[in-house]
Structure 1
Amino acid sequence: MTQTERAAAFHDLHDDLLVLPNCWDAASAAVIQHAGAKALATSSAAVAWSLGAQDGNMLDRGLMLEHLQRICAVAKVPVSCDVEGGFGDSAADLAETTRLVIEAGAVGVNLEDAFDGALRPADEAADRVRVVREAAEAAGVNLYLNARTDGYLLGAADFDDAVARAAAYLDAGASGIFVPGVTDLDEVTRLTDAIDAPVNILTGPGAPAIPALKKAGAWRVSAGSSLAGAIFGHVERATRELLEVGTYDELAGPRSWGEMNSLFG
């Protein structure tokens, strides 16, 4: 499948509910793909942790791209990349990030409208969406641009602002809108009714089940960093059992050496 075909396929997946158990390296991508995921999407937090960095626009772009290239190399399905705030404040930096992500093999991106714990002005954030769209067009790829608005995530939930930002981002070239930080089904329904594009909801422990989110109008559901957090938590539990008890119960039911090895090559 060519990159053009993968981009078209990724867009088409948003015609129905798309569930994304987010990956962070080639191994997690291969396992998630083998389990039946129709697409792969990176979690910026999980990628950063796996590389020894904090989340929150702290990771070096070159390191992120190396990881993305490895993920795309094992992928047989479309790949979307979380580019956080774009790895640079200038339009030139943002355009270059877009070009490099596409060059690595991705056909989608998430772009945040917050930086340093605060929302960018809406017109500035919309301009940045426009930069990404124009860079993707220059690269000849119909990138799926998932524009993220972080008001709810920052604890400053403002329905009217989220909807206004969504409209501005869609006018600037966004393909869909990501509203992390909201899982209340009534609020999800209000948002999906008011936003004229696929709405992405961030899920995890304590959130409504995926069928309920679909009924509320969500067309894309992401696990974000919660899958990586669960895996790393299991690693800690298994390690403590080995070190403190000397038993192996937490190691029961793993993928065997042969099963893991068969996912590559």
Structure 2
Amino acid sequence: MQSIQDRRAQFMALHQPGAAFLMPNPFDTGTAHILEGLRFDALATTSAGYAFSRGLKDAEGLITRDLALSHAEEIVSATTLPVNGDLENGFGDTPEDAAETVRGAIEVGLCGCSIEDYSTDPRHPYYDLELAVERIRAAADMKQRLAPDFVLTARSEAPIADAEHLEKTIERLNAFSKAGADCVYAPELIQHDDIVAALNKLDKPLNVLAGRKAFHMTRKELADMGVARISIGGGLARIAYGAFTAAAEDMKDSGTFGCFDRAVGMHDIDAFLRGRA
């Protein structure tokens, strides 16, 4: 069994330009077991998937720091793979909040985490750049003191509707990089040319979110561009809940049970779980 320190070193080493390693997001221990059995290199929690599993909407503030870290600890304990934490905006506005979240992430055995610049304030949904940078700097200082090989990912959340927005996003990502982020991530980087433009101006590994509708680039294409990491976010959870809901509606509305012809067999699930490393 690898130690958490070994897992952190393994996770850090995966972040190479062009590696485009896949980091899917389980939402409970069972899905973590299955993904490990399928031989992925690393896993990540999903704030949306976890919220759904607790009967909550994916809304800021419903999942607290304590809940998120407790869930992360369950996923870490369920796998031998490195686990990254989706820790929203660090569960508070201040640099101290971001630092405290990173401390908690390290304590529960995560190998990395992401911190967003989304403020949750509808009047000012994104932190001013100066504050956003201070939050990442505080988080980076904490991880340097406690676990230097912990991978801190800084996220820029704003939409990218045109060239001006793209430049502002790149400016933010570079500022986060200089503040100590090990990896950068803008979920709205979804167009081929925008990703290439960003990669040409970034000096840290880039994460791209592929778990969305109408995302047609392949892993090879992303690797050829120079993308280091591909995450799925709540994508697998949405597929799971969508299939569950469709089957339930089908049997309720039709009064028939053909929906179960699409179900995975019990022995198949047992085989997925037995396939764990």
Q: TM-score, normalised by structure 1?
A: 0.91
Cα separation, 2, equivalents of 1:146 and 1:254:
38
Alignment of 1:147-226 (within 5 A): 147-152=154-159, 158-203=165-210, 204-207=212-215, 208-226=217-235
| Structure-2 residue corresponding to 1:99 | 103
Give the SS at the match of 1:180. coil
Query: 1:31 maps to what in 2?
Result: 34
SS of aligned partner of 1:119: coil
Q: Give the aligned partner of residue 61 of structure 1.
A: 65
The SS at the match of 1:145 is strand
Deviations 1:157-181 (A, max 9, x none): 7121111111110111100110112
8 Å Cα contact 1:81/1:109 also seen in 2: yes
Quick one: distance in 1 between partners of 2:167 and 2:249? 47
Supply the RMSD in Å over aligned alpha carbons: 2.1
- The letter for the 2-side match of 1:245 is T
Kept in 2: contact 1:3–1:141 (CA 8 A): no
- Secondary structure, aligned partner of 2:133: helix
Rounded Cα–Cα distance in structure 1 between residues aligned with 2:91 and 2:267: 35
Alignment match, 1:84: 88
Q: Is the 8 A contact 2:65 2:90 kept in 1?
A: no
Equivalent residue of 1:245, what SS? coil
**Which secondary structure state, in structure 2, belongs to the residue aligned with residue 194 of structure 1?**
coil
Q: Does 1:11 align with 2:12?
A: yes
CA contact (8 A) 1:237 1:250 kept: no
Superposition pairs of residues 40-59 of structure 1, within 5 angstroms? 40-58=43-61, 59=63
What is aligned with 1:113?
A: 117
Instruction: Say yes or no: does 1:249 pair with 2:261.
Output: yes
- Higher-RCO chain (CA-CA 8 Å, sequence separation at least 6): 2
In structure 2, stretches of 5+ residues that fail to align are none
Q: Deviations over 1:191-226 (max 9, x none)?
A: 111111111111133112222222222211111111
1:21-72 deviation line (CA, Å, top 9, x unaligned): 1122211111111111100111111111112222242212222122111100
Unmatched 5+ residue regions in structure 1? none
Secondary structure of the residue that 2:236 maps to in structure 1? helix
1:23 and 1:252 mapped to 2: Cα distance?
Answer: 18
Give the 3 Å change call, closer, same or farther, for CA 121–73 of structure 1 in structure 2: same
Name the CA distance, whole Å, in 2 between partners of 1:95 and 1:174. Answer: 13
Q: Percent identity?
A: 27
The aligned amino acid for 2:167 is: D
Q: How many pairs are equivalent?
A: 263
Cα distance in 1, alignment partners of residues 166 and 71 from structure 2: 35
In 1, the alpha carbon distance for the partners of 2:151 and 2:101 equals 15
* Alpha-carbon displacement from aligned partner over 1:61-115 (angstroms, at most 9, x marks no partner): 2221221111000111111001100012233332222111111110100111112
Q: Is the 8 A contact 1:25 1:68 kept in 2?
A: no
**Quick one: which amino acid aligns to residue 111 of structure 1?**
I
Contact 2:98 2:136 (8 Å CA) reproduced: no
Which stretch shifts more, 229-238 or 132-141?
Answer: 132-141
* CA spacing shift, 1:86–1:249, aligned 2, 3 Å: same
Question: Would the aligned equivalents of 2:111 and 2:150 in 1 still touch at CA under 8 Å?
Answer: yes
Measure how far apart 1:261 and its partner are: 6.0
After the TM superposition, which parts of structure 1 deviate over 3 Å for at least 4 consecutive aligned residues? Answer: 241-244, 252-264
Inter-partner Cα distance in structure 1 for 2:269 and 2:98: 40
Could you tell me which amino acid in structure 2 is paired with residue 25 of structure 1? D
